[in-house]
Amino acid sequence: MATVHSATYELLRNQGITKVFGNPGSNELPFLKGFPEDFQYILGLHEGVVMGIADGYALAGSRPAFVNLHAAAGTGNAMGALTNSWYSHSPLVVTAGQQARSLVGVEAMLSNVDATQLPRPLVKWSYEPTWPGDVPRALSQAIHMATQPAPGPVYVSIPHDDWEREIDDDALLLADRQVATAGRPSTAQLSNLADRLNNASNPVLVLGPDVDAYQANAMAVELAEKLAAPVWVAPSAPRCPFPTRHRCFRGVLPAAVAGITARLEGHDLIVVIGAPVFRYHQHAPGNYLPKGAKLIHLTCDLQEASRAPMGDALIGDISEMLNLLLLNIQQTDRAMPEPLPLPIPHADSQEGPLAPEVVFDELNALAPEDAIYVKESTSTVTAFWQRVEMRHQGSYYFPAAGGLGFGLPAAVGAQLAQPDRQVIGIIGDGSANYSITALWTAVQYQIPVIFIILKNGTYGALRWFSRILDAEDSPGLDVPGLDFCAIAKGYGVDAVTVNTREEFRTEFNKALKAQGPVLLEVPTTTIEP
């Protein structure tokens, strides 16, 4: 007869989920006991790092990641990272060990009291099975809910004395289940959408992360070329949905109401695809839309569609909607947009630290064409998008909720998911300290990530905001006295400080040939986001 333990591993195996990302505690040991040889356990030294590694793996691999946390404390440690996973539509199956069923009511040590409420509202679904036999079914439901539109994290709390319980062999039927979404626009919806685009005099496209997640980048290019439309990337971009040297590309929209309206001035139809409308940040009030403009929103997410303050929305599979739309879009006779001028190479500074622009120019020249950039240097976002060309699907990841600590572990997870592409983590010195223990995991599993720490001794983005908010006298804006090479070497990472352009070229080329992780600490000047 099957047990909860054996049925669960068979379910995971048949769903192609054979990696477990975790940091175990006593409640989790009965699940990990007899760990199958065809599975791999990826250990992180802090639950926030575990969540970040799993997030990077799920995003870059376009597959669900299975996370195992320790009861309430471990879940709490991971909650900050979970905010990014929620807003990036990461398909994560998050599990947590619960105290034995008979001890939960008396709140024995390590009881996860009211476990299902703890991770909300940052999960699609949260559940604790009411009896042991329901554990495999609950995990099956979790996998399917995490992966169906809009993808996102789910949470299951499991009492530790459930795993050895015997259950009916019918539980094994769960392993072969498949759940798929078959929705597509109706003929009337598609006709209306195509007519509005074909009849627009000056349309503009705003593309978001779900274009990249649905691997619809090439279709977005074809749509832009048929419409001869300029293309903006939605604000606070966590992914790159469009080639950044294409002549239609215009850059990333600012995360402010007035700023977006100013950039889209003169367009009569704004088509937002695969992004919220909009993710604002800076408080700069204004009109939501330019005068005379209408907005259409194509999204996979009901919540994004429902909360938007303007425009008409159509919810569905991003790839399928674009594919069908392209069949109904006429080739315009409008002239194509003029390409943006290429950035002028940044000059070397005569003395002192390197400018971030110099680092990005060198990366653009030296990195493989299909490199994956995991970026968490928030003060250098604009310079990076201007100077680093990205052509391929899945080339860029950034914390979707702005929660620091994403970059280092997500780079590790992305490299695990894409071993044939070089992953480059570009991390600010302030950000790096949130999840520095990810370096240990990279070493232990020989994951050949290149970490570039841009070290300016301050929270650069916060410095910029302090000027906007007239709060430059606030404490805690600087982080002096950090030696990342010493820290990295303590974890076993090869690390070196580079101070000149030539040193960066030499050490980066060496890092490209390394068999394990490498960290380059680059003292830099401070620039504005």
**Predicted local distance difference test score (pLDDT) of residue 21:** 98
Which one from 5, 46, 70, 346 is the annotated catalytic residue? Answer: 70
Q: Which of 22, 25, 52, 80 is catalytic?
A: 25
Measured in whole angstroms, the distance separating CA 112 from the mean position of its chain's CA atoms is: 28
The distance from CA 379 to its chain's CA centroid, rounded to whole angstroms, is 18
Decide: 279 and 256 in contact? Cβ < 8 Å.
no
- Give the pLDDT of residue 435: 97
Q: What is the pLDDT of residue 376?
A: 96
Q: Give the global pTM.
A: 0.95
Phi/psi of residue 17, nearest 5 degrees: -105, 95
328 pLDDT tier (thresholds 50, 70, 90): very high
Task: Report pLDDT digits (tens) over 23-53.
Answer: 999 999 999 999 999 999 999 999 999 999 9
pLDDT at 476 over 70: no
* Candidate list 5, 6, 22, 28, residue with the active-site label: 28
* Residue 184, both tokens: 């597509």
Please check whether residue 169 is in contact with residue 4, taking contact to mean a CB–CB distance below 8 angstroms.
no
pLDDT at residue 496, rounded to an integer? 98
Pairing state of beta strands 231-233 and 294-299?
unpaired
CB 441 within 8 A of CB 45: yes
Q: Mean pLDDT across the stretch 406-423?
A: 98
Of the candidates 16, 26, 166, 265, the residue annotated as catalytic is 26
Environment class of 101 (CB within 10 Å of its CB; exposed 0-12, middle 13-18, buried 19+): middle
C-alpha–C-alpha distance, residues 396 and 237, integer Å: 9
What's the pLDDT score for residue 195?
96
In the set 47, 320, 362, 376, the catalytic residue is 47
Asked whether the predicted pLDDT for residue 458 surpasses 70, the reply is: no
- Token reading at 347: 């000059």
The span from the first CA to the last CA of the chain, in angstroms, equals 60
Q: Please report the domains of the chain, with CATH numbers, ordered by start residue.
A: 4-176 (3.40.50.970), 187-326 (3.40.50.1220), 356-523 (3.40.50.970)
At residue 184, the pLDDT reads: 84
CA distance 115 to 253: 39
Average pLDDT over residues 400-411: 95
Give bridge partners of residue 474 from the DSSP assignment. Answer: none
Round the average pLDDT of the chain to a whole number and report it: 94
CB burial of residue 97 (10 Å; 0-12, 13-18, 19+): buried
Please identify which residue in the block is written with the tokens 């002028």: 344
Give yes or no: 281 in active site: yes
Verify whether residue 28 is a known catalytic residue.
Answer: yes
pLDDT digits (tens, 9 = 90+) for 251-290: 999 999 999 999 999 999 999 999 999 999 988 899 999 9
Active-site residue, 392 included = no
Residue 470 burial by Cβ neighbours in a 10 Å radius (0-12, 13-18, 19+): exposed
Query: Which of 380-384, 441-445, 455-459 is predicted with the least confidence, judged by mean pLDDT?
Result: 455-459
Contact 456, 524 (CB under 8 A): yes
Q: 70 catalytic, yes or no?
A: yes
- The encoded tokens of residue 268 equal 């009569």
Give the strand pairing for 92-98 and 40-43. Answer: unpaired
Question: Looking at the predicted structure, is the pLDDT value of residue 103 above 80?
Answer: yes
pLDDT of amino acid 477: 62
Longest dimension (CA), the chain: 74
What span, in angstroms and rounded, lies between the C-alpha atoms of 253 and 237? Answer: 9
Average pLDDT rounded to a whole number, residues 82-93: 98
Is position 402 annotated as part of the catalytic site?
yes
Q: Which residues contact 401 (CB under 8 A, 6 or more apart)?
A: 83, 84, 86, 87, 88
pLDDT digits (tens, 9 = 90+) for 170-223: 777 887 888 888 778 999 999 999 999 999 999 999 999 999 999 999 999 999
Please say if the pLDDT value at position 92 is more than 90: yes
- Banded pLDDT at 459 (limits 50, 70, 90): low
Q: How confident is the model at residue 351 (pLDDT cuts 50, 70, 90)?
A: confident
How far, CA to CA in Å, does 180 sit from each of 143, 214, 264, 433?
12, 14, 37, 40
Taking the C-alpha atoms of residue 116 and residue 104, their distance in angstroms, rounded to an integer, is: 13
246 belongs to the catalytic site? no
DSSP 135-163: HHHHHHHHHHHHHSSSP--EEEEEETTST
By the 8 A CB rule, do 94 and 69 touch? yes
| pLDDT given at position 1 | 80
**154 pLDDT higher than 90:** yes
Considering 22, 402, 425, 460, which one is annotated as catalytic? 402
Q: What is the Cα Rg of the chain in Å?
A: 24
Tell me which residue has tokens 């070196």: 496
* Residue 429 identity: D
- The answer to whether the CB of 51 falls within 8 A of the CB of 82 is yes
Which pLDDT does position 140 carry in this prediction?
Answer: 97
At 272, list the tokens: 């937002």
Per-position DSSP letters for 383-417, written without gaps between them: HHHHHS---STT-EE--TT--TT-HHHHHHHHHHH
Q: Using CA atoms, how far apart are residues 126 and 136, in angstroms rounded to an integer? A: 15
